């Protein structure tokens, strides 16, 4: 949504107070733990842009709760696997040798304006995985992002599993299940035929750059929209307006448990 379209999409500006009201009406409360997936453009013309969304989330959840977001940096991966766009084969070794190391405080996200803003906020913590990091703020921020394993990156050694243990909610702000990272936790837990793949990325270890190899399942989002639709139909969630977009709030543990069974039956 361009700036002109965003202005035309709303009768009044979307503000921190109006967003906070929308989030409370959706069911978000002080002390909640919530994993947020978001699209700034879907919310309309937001006065102040991404900081307004982060401020509203923090106002509602308060520091007694915890906010988490994916802060993935997909280009911190093996260039041999890049497809959007691919790079010439003869570049690959140069990229592996010279790409700056992943640094939580420095490396930008590649999953949207709101997570990129969120990761820079004071007291926000970010996990150490170079490709699929998560950031968190609030009471359980440290425990959510700590010890993010390089292997099985979205499995039981990931912040997704820590959020599951904390009985978190998942909040969509103008997005759908195709971006629902919690479904990857279900992929890791489901007893389904799965390919294992090797990836690589540069990290900073004891002050020195090092290229590391990581082993993961071959993640697949092709059926996530169908899976999510089945969850909404059979289990349910809360849906409402946030700005001019659609907000959806759901129980992450119920979502993951349902997805494990759905994947075992349908994939």
- Residues 2-36 have pLDDT tens digits of 666 667 666 789 999 999 999 999 999 999 999 99
- CA dihedral of 40, 44, 45, 46, whole degrees rounded to 10: -50
- How far is CA 98 from each of CA 65, 80, 206, rounded to the nearest angstrom? 40, 15, 18
- How far is CA 221 from each of CA 37, 85, 181, 218, rounded to the nearest angstrom? 15, 19, 9, 10
pLDDT at position 173, please?
A: 98
One-character DSSP codes across 31-47: T-EEEEEE-GGGG-SBT
Compute the distance between CA of residue 198 and CA of residue 38 in angstroms, rounded to an integer: 29
pTM: 0.95
pLDDT at position 35, please?
A: 98
Helices (H) and strands (E) in the chain, counts: 10, 9
pLDDT at position 8, please?
A: 66
pLDDT at position 262, please?
A: 98
Could you give the 3-state DSSP secondary structure of residue 56?
Answer: helix
pLDDT at position 4, please?
A: 64
Compute the distance between CA of residue 82 and CA of residue 79 in angstroms, rounded to an integer: 5
H or E segment and range at residue 61? helix 50-61
pLDDT at position 83, please?
A: 87
Compute the distance between CA of residue 71 and CA of residue 124 in angstroms, rounded to an integer: 12
pLDDT less than 70: residues of the chain: 1-6, 8-10
pLDDT at position 237, please?
A: 98
pLDDT at position 11, please?
A: 72
Residue in 135, 139, 136, 125 with CA at minimum distance from that of residue 65? 139
């Amino acid at each position: 949504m361009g700036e002109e379209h965003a202005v035309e999409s709303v009768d009044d500006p979307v503000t921190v107070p109006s967003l906070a009201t929308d989030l409370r009406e959706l069911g978000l409360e002080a002390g909640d733990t919530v994993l947020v997936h978001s699209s700034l453009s879907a919310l309309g013309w937001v006065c102040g842009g991404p900081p307004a969304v982060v401020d509203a989330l923090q106002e509602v959840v308060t520091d007694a709760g915890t906010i988490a977001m994916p802060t993935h940096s997909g280009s911190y991966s093996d260039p041999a696997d890049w497809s959007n766009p691919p790079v010439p084969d003869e570049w690959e070794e140069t990229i592996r040798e010279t790409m700056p190391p992943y640094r939580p405080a420095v490396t930008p996200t590649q999953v949207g304006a709101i997570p990129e803003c969120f990761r820079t906020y004071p007291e926000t913590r970010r996990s150490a995985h170079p490709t699929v990091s998560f950031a968190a703020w609030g009471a359980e921020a440290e425990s959510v992002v700590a010890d993010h394993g390089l292997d099985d990156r979205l499995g039981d050694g990931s912040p997704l599993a820590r959020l599951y243990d904390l009985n978190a909610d998942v909040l969509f702000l103008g997005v759908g299940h195709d971006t629902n990272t919690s479904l990857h936790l279900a992929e890791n837990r489901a007893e389904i035929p799965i390919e294992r793949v090797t990836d690589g990325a540069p990290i900073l270890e004891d002050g020195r750059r090092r290229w590391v190899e990581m082993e993961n399942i071959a993640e697949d989002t092709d059926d996530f929209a169908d899976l999510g639709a089945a969850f909404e139909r059979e289990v349910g969630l809360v849906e409402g307006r946030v700005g001019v977009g659609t907000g959806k709030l759901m129980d992450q543990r119920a979502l993951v448990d349902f997805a494990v069974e759905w994947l075992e039956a349908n994939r």
